[in-house]
């Protein structure tokens, strides 16, 4: 069986789809936050906001926003109040977008998985 990329549809109804596409996909470890990543991210955002986005570009933007806002993350115990308020505000902003997306349970799972993966890359290689 051919190996599928993130964003591909599942082969069978019983097989879950891989996580959504990210701007890090296809970039080598250690370079996932360089110029190539920024170019891919910039092109995706421009395409989304001008109405010309591919499915992959739309997924890249959804995943980036979810990861950037920490929507699927928790603030650690002892987080200072001002930092906590900022983090909750970021999550609330994406929460508004998320509510309008009307994702299926499977799409929400794929978004969660991809956003968490991007957050890990951000922690290891820096944010975009």
Which tens digit of pLDDT belongs to each residue from 14-70? 566 678 888 778 777 766 677 888 899 999 999 999 999 999 999 999 999 999 999
Q: Does residue 52 lie within any of the structural domains? A: yes
Q: Look at the chain and report how many structural domains it folds into.
A: 1
CA separation, residue 66 to residues 14, 15, 22, 96 (Å): 27, 25, 11, 11
Q: What is the pLDDT of residues 56-76, one digit of tens each?
A: 999 999 999 999 999 999 999
Q: Does residue 47 lie within any of the structural domains? A: yes
Q: What is the pTM of this model?
A: 0.79
Q: Does residue 121 lie within any of the structural domains? A: yes
Q: How far apart are alpha carbons 103 and 123 in whole angstroms?
A: 27
Q: Does residue 114 lie within any of the structural domains? A: yes
Q: Does residue 5 lie within any of the structural domains? A: no
Q: How far apart are alpha carbons 24 and 9 in whole angstroms?
A: 19
- Contact criterion met (CB below 8 Å) for 6 and 114: yes
CA separation, residue 40 to residues 1, 11, 60, 111 (Å): 28, 27, 9, 18
């Amino acid at each position: 069986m051919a190996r599928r990329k993130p964003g591909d549809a599942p082969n069978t109804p019983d097989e879950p789809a891989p996580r959504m596409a990210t701007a890090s996909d296809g970039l080598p470890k250690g370079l996932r936050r360089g110029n190539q990543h920024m170019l891919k991210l910039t092109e995706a955002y421009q395409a989304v906001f001008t109405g010309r986005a591919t499915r992959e570009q739309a997924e890249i933007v959804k995943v980036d926003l979810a990861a950037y806002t920490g929507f699927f993350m928790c603030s650690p115990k002892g987080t200072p109040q001002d930092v906590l308020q900022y983090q909750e505000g970021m999550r609330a902003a994406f929460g508004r977008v998320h509510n309008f997306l009307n994702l299926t349970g499977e799409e929400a799972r794929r978004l969660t998985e991809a956003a968490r993966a991007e957050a890990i890359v951000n922690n290891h290689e820096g944010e975009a």
